[in-house]
Amino acid sequence: MDNKTADIIAAGESRARSLDEESLAWLLSLEDSSDGENELFEAAYRVKCAVIGKKVSIRALIEAGNACAKDCRYCGIRKSNARIERYTMSAEEIYLAAVAAKEAGYASIVIQAGEIESPAHTAKIEEALKAVSALDMGVTLSLGEQEEEVYRRWREAGATRYLLRIETSDPRLYARLHPADHSWQRRAGCLGILSRLGYQVGTGVMCALPGQDAHSLARDILFYVKADADMIGMGPYIPHHDAPVPEAPAFSPDARLHLALRMIAATRLMLHDVNIASTTALEALSPDGRERGILAGANVIMPNITDSASSSKYRLYDGKPFSKGAAGAAESLKCIARRFARLGEKVLFNERGDSLHYAKKSGSNQ
């Protein structure tokens, strides 16, 4: 490993928020499986263990519907894709999935669905949240852009976290990937609204997008700092066969996996105390992708407990692993715990696993 790489890694490990764009881009440009990349992963994992511990927080993912009003050009459930069967869970179905998660040992859930803005959708989610609040669980919503009043209603109904991925911090690249009526400025503004309303705020990007380079990814990490994010969810770009955005030909699946892992590691060196997810998309590129994400500095996984019939319709990208459903949630979680125990990591049953960064800045124990 060269001296420049060693110096950058040492600086990031010793002090949070200490790396600039040039240093981050250097780390993100390290060659796959090189000594420098391996040391980057090891240093990020040391930070994760020192700040958060050798433990993995869990959230049960409930995919509550694949109807979407957005038309993002890379996404399999975009509104113009007429080749998929749409479904929408009721408030009661969401609640029953949360009950199954609680019984399996989860203390946190993620309610995710396509982006819909309507009074009926707002009311349904509000109803589900009020029912779930009796379970005393951490609740993350991933339901896209909404008006401030909608976010407020959901917060008051019991949501504690919100994940709104910016997908890229570059407005010009965002415009290339979305129709003209999709606004980067509105999406970024929603993150500020969520923060003001007291949510634990999560965001994130896709890695290896067409037209993206190491410097744009470095600026993504700096965007997390500016947004004062509490949670980060990133994953490799994986095309969908019905999406019009072509796969970047310069990046093989393995190269995309390595780049996504370097993004996790560089983000951990920059932001020591945030929650970082090891996403399902990593597992789509490698059977041990989630484990490798943890060893690169992530500390959260989100196993999918949606019933298999619905989960097969919620396909944002090709190769998405299938869910075993709520009925198999307990056994699936035990299997996951055994897998991570082999790494020396403890899966946190019945613990919310809230963001340390959020707790520090707010004094909250949510």
pLDDT-derived band at 322 (thresholds 50, 70, 90) equals low
pLDDT digits (tens, 9 = 90+) for 222-271: 999 999 999 999 999 988 888 777 565 457 889 999 999 999 999 999 99
12 token code pair:
């990031």
The reply to whether 365 falls in a domain is no
Task: Return the H-helix or E-strand segment holding 254.
Answer: helix 253-270
Measured between alpha carbons, how far is 354 from 293 in angstroms, rounded to an integer?
19
C-alpha 208/C-alpha 220 separation (Å) is 12
CA 254 to chain centre: 20
pLDDT given for residue 327 in this prediction = 65
Q: Please, which pLDDT band fits residue 320 given cuts at 50, 70 and 90? A: confident
In this prediction, residue 242 carries a pLDDT of 82
In 3D space, the residue among 57, 54, 58, 45 whose CA is nearest the CA of residue 265 turns out to be 45
Q: Residue 167: name the closest of 93, 100, 245 by CA.
A: 245
Average pLDDT rounded to a whole number, residues 104-123: 98
263 located within any domain? yes
Q: In 15-90, where does DSSP find H-type helix?
A: 21-28, 35-51
Residue type, 38: N
The total number of structural domains that make up the chain: 1
| Whole-angstrom distance, CA of residue 286 vs CA of residue 281 | 9
Residue 366 lies in a domain: no
* 159, pLDDT greater than 60: yes
pLDDT tens figures, 40-76:
999 999 999 999 999 999 999 999 999 999 999 999 9
SS3 166: coil
Q: With a cut of 80, say whether residue 283 has pLDDT above it.
A: yes
Q: What are the structure tokens assigned to 274, written together?
A: 């945030």
Predicted confidence (pLDDT) at residue 141 exceeds the cutoff of 60: yes
The pLDDT value recorded for residue 227 is 97
Establish if 2 belongs to a structural domain: no
- Give the global pTM: 0.96
> Mean pLDDT across the chain, nearest whole number?
94
Handedness of CA 81, 82, 85, 86 (dihedral sign): positive
Q: What is the pLDDT of residue 210?
A: 86
In this predicted model, what pLDDT tens digit does every residue of 78-100 receive, in sequence order?
A: 999 999 999 999 999 999 999 99
Of all residues in the chain, the percent with pLDDT exceeding 70 is 97
Q: Is residue 135 part of a domain?
A: yes
Q: Is 218 helix (H, G, I), strand (E, B) or coil?
A: helix
Based on the number of CB atoms within 10 Å of its own CB, is 217 exposed (0-12), middle (13-18) or buried (19 or more)? buried
The pLDDT of residue 247 is 60
Residue 25 falls within a domain, yes or no? no
Q: What is the pLDDT of residues 169-188, one digit of tens each?
A: 999 999 999 999 999 999 99
What mean pLDDT comes out for the span 262-284?
97
* pLDDT in the model for residue 2: 92
Provide the pLDDT confidence category of residue 364 given band limits of 50, 70 and 90.
low
In a domain, 201, yes or no: yes
- Residue 279 · residue 232 · CB < 8 Å: no
CATH number, domain of 221, equals 3.20.20.70
- Residue 57 lies inside a defined structural domain of this protein: yes
Angle at the Cα of 126 from the Cα atoms of 69 and 89, rounded to 5 degrees: 55
Structural domain of 231: 35-355
Give which of 227, 229, 285 is closest to 256, Cα–Cα: 285
